[in-house]
Amino acid sequence: MTSLSDQDKETLLEFLGEGSKSFRKLYSAKENGCDAAIFHQRCDNRGPTLTVVYNTDGQVFGGYTTASWQSASTPHVYDKSAFLFCLGEGEERKKFSVTKSGSAVVHDARSGPTFGRGPDLGLFTGAVQKGDDGTFALSLMMKGDSYEIMPSSLGDLINSDIPVVDVVVYSLEDIKHAVMSKQWREEPKFTEEYLQKLMEDVESYWPLKDFGVDEEALQHINILFIGPIGAGKSSFLNSVESVFRGHVTMSATAGSRGKSVTSMYRQYPITGSDNKHYLHFQLCDCRGLEDGFSINKDIDAILDGHVPDNYIFNSSSSVTTKTHGYRRDPKLKDKIHCVAYVLDAEKYSPEVGMSFVTEAVKEQIIDIQEKCDQRGIQQLILLNKIDNACPATKEDTSAVYRSELIQQRCFHAANCLGLPPLTVLPMKNNFMELTTSDEVAILTLYNVRQMLRAADAYLRVNYLDDLRQDKYESQLN
Ligand SMILES: Nc1nc2c(ncn2[C@@H]2O[C@H](COP(=O)(O)OP(=O)(O)OP(=O)(O)O)[C@@H](O)[C@H]2O)c(=O)[nH]1
Ligand SMILES: [Mg+2]
């Protein structure tokens, strides 16, 4: 094999410790020729690179440097981040950090990739012909000087006389920076007109308005937010409130304490921008999910509208008919009409085996999904903290729908919870600023509008006829 397996890439990214990167092949001795001139032509001035040697024994090893390769002769190139490595199974996987940063790599037009003053790892000089069997007899130089525990370690692991199948140089690109010129979803648009339209749509919403249902038929719909601790459930509620207040509000307590900041079930009515009228939707906040604490025993009661505002979640007991404020006979306005699973976009890094949620939390969510499915409740994913996940979006929130990384992250979030990608709504909350920007307002309102549409879809299937007939009004509200 002369390519890096997923496991190899995972190991290398772990060694690098800088999150996701894409590996782009700049040079291959097998494909381009084992020649120092060609190596320099293809690899000079290309930023951080990874040099990987594959030998006929199946050993994979090499070196990483952040210093761009150069042809100008410099025998001592400084690089404190350089390292040599061996890949393979378990014990064979090793990273040798640089110990003499001042001589981490050698730049020389006559040589291929050369690491350390020894050199600790020198691959070839001039041009080396390919043998009849397609391999290169390189007799690697491995003397040891500038890297940790050299020469014995690498020398013990690698037999430098074994023919080499390929030497590949990869550039490591920060995949976070890929921003497309076109949006990967047509809407939302980041314009003032679009913001006004969203504001109008959300403020003038009432349940099944487009289906001829009267404004008074159902006071409000309820959107329930569920997700791991710290994913930004309460922050989103504050973002929604802030849009209508025109400044950042903190009605729902948000923060990071290592355990769930929200301990209660809270229902937040939202007042419109006239500061007078309630809008026709409520946001319902929950305690965060974690490995040792599940809200699942209360979830049926929440979905069906039995659980009162301010109910405190308890690890050892669940809501009962004796719970203070328990609704014995919930009406339609008390039930949940849409569920949004809230995930942290930053908490995803398959290279280091990190998913958005732990296995235990995922199981809790799967159980909740089944309960929603039984009731026909539509479910969406709110993918928060896109600013932390993508530097381009951090710089400019309106880049979110042009960011390839966010597009992929949405896809992975959908996969993680087994929902269609179009249900994923990327989001950045107000968390530092005191005033809300138009871009954040657009994302907030767009995401709320999608949730209102999901709630309407549920109502249309299950309650349209009831809601059209005024005689049911008293039973519904
Ligand atoms: N960078 C960034 N930070 C955010 C965002 N949303 C929330 N946060 C931060 O994430 C932390 C947790 O946010 P909360 O809203 O309290 O999360 P939660 O899901 O309600 O957490 P629990 O109530 O503990 O379950 C806070 O410090 C927020 O400031 C976001 O979009 N971007
Ligand atoms: Mg909270």
239 CB within 6 A, ligand 1: no
Tell me which residues have their CB within 5 A of the ion that is ligand 2: 233-234, 261-262
Instruction: Decide which of 257 and 329 is more confident.
Output: 329
Confidence at residue 92, expressed as pLDDT on a 0 to 100 scale = 76
92 CA to centre of ligand 2 in angstroms: 44
Summarize pLDDT for 127-177 with one digit per residue, the tens. 999 999 999 999 788 877 899 866 556 667 777 888 999 999 999 876 555
388 CA to centre of ligand 1 in angstroms: 11
13 CB within 6 A, ligand 1: no
Summarize pLDDT for 298-335 with one digit per residue, the tens. 999 999 999 999 999 988 889 999 999 999 999 999 99
Take atom 9 of ligand 1 and give the residue whose Cα is closest.
Answer: 232
Cα separation of 49 and 69, whole Å?
Answer: 8
Cα separation of 263 and 269, whole Å?
Answer: 19
Summarize pLDDT for 428-450 with one digit per residue, the tens. 998 766 677 999 999 999 999 99
258 CA to centre of ligand 1 in angstroms: 12
pLDDT at 88 over 60: yes
Residue 211 DSSP symbol: G
Identify which of 432, 429, 447, 446 has the alpha carbon closest to the alpha carbon of residue 242: 429
pLDDT at 200 over 80: yes
pLDDT at 422 over 70: yes
Percentage, residues of the chain above pLDDT 90: 70
Mutation choice for ligand 1 from 429, 430, 444, 447, CB with most ligand atoms inside 8 A? 429
Across the chain, what does the average pLDDT equal?
Answer: 90
Least confident of 90-99, 172-181, 356-365: 172-181
For CA atoms 185, 188, 191, 197, the dihedral sign is positive
Take atom 13 of ligand 1 and give the residue whose Cα is closest.
Answer: 232
Confidence at residue 243, expressed as pLDDT on a 0 to 100 scale = 95
Least confident of 136-145, 339-348, 447-456, 463-472: 463-472
Exposed/middle/buried for residue 5 (C-beta within 10 Å: 0-12, 13-18, 19+): exposed
User: Which of the four pLDDT bands, split at 50, 70 and 90, describes residue 471?
Assistant: very low
User: Which of the four pLDDT bands, split at 50, 70 and 90, describes residue 285?
Assistant: very high
Least confident of 9-23, 143-157, 384-398: 143-157
Instruction: Decide which of 47 and 165 is more confident.
Output: 165
pLDDT at 475 over 70: no
286 CB within 6 A, ligand 1: no
Residue 353 DSSP symbol: T
DSSP E strands, 98-241: 105-107, 114-115, 121-122, 127-128, 164-173, 221-226
Take atom 4 of ligand 1 and give the residue whose Cα is closest.
Answer: 385
Take atom 21 of ligand 1 and give the residue whose Cα is closest.
Answer: 230
Nearest-ligand number for the alpha carbon of 238:
1
Exposed/middle/buried for residue 329 (C-beta within 10 Å: 0-12, 13-18, 19+): exposed
Residue 333 DSSP symbol: G
Q: What residue ranges do the domains of the chain occupy?
A: 6-173, 177-476
What average pLDDT does this structure show over 57-70?
93
CATH fold, domain 177-476, is Rossmann fold (3.40.50)
Note the Cα 286 to chain centre separation in Å. Answer: 22
Whether the CB-CB separation of 284 and 266 falls below 8 Å is answered with yes
What average pLDDT does this structure show over 196-225?
96
Instruction: Decide which of 473 and 186 is more confident.
Output: 186
387 CB within 6 A, ligand 1: yes
Identify which of 215, 223, 219, 153 has the alpha carbon closest to the alpha carbon of residue 377: 223
Which residues, including other chains, have CB under 8 Å from residue 18's CB and lie 6 or more apart?
A: none
Please tell me which of 2-16, 239-253, 399-413 the model is most confident about, judged by mean pLDDT: 399-413
User: Which of the four pLDDT bands, split at 50, 70 and 90, describes residue 474?
Assistant: low
Mutation choice for ligand 1 from 431, 432, 447, CB with most ligand atoms inside 8 A? 431
pLDDT at 57 over 50: yes
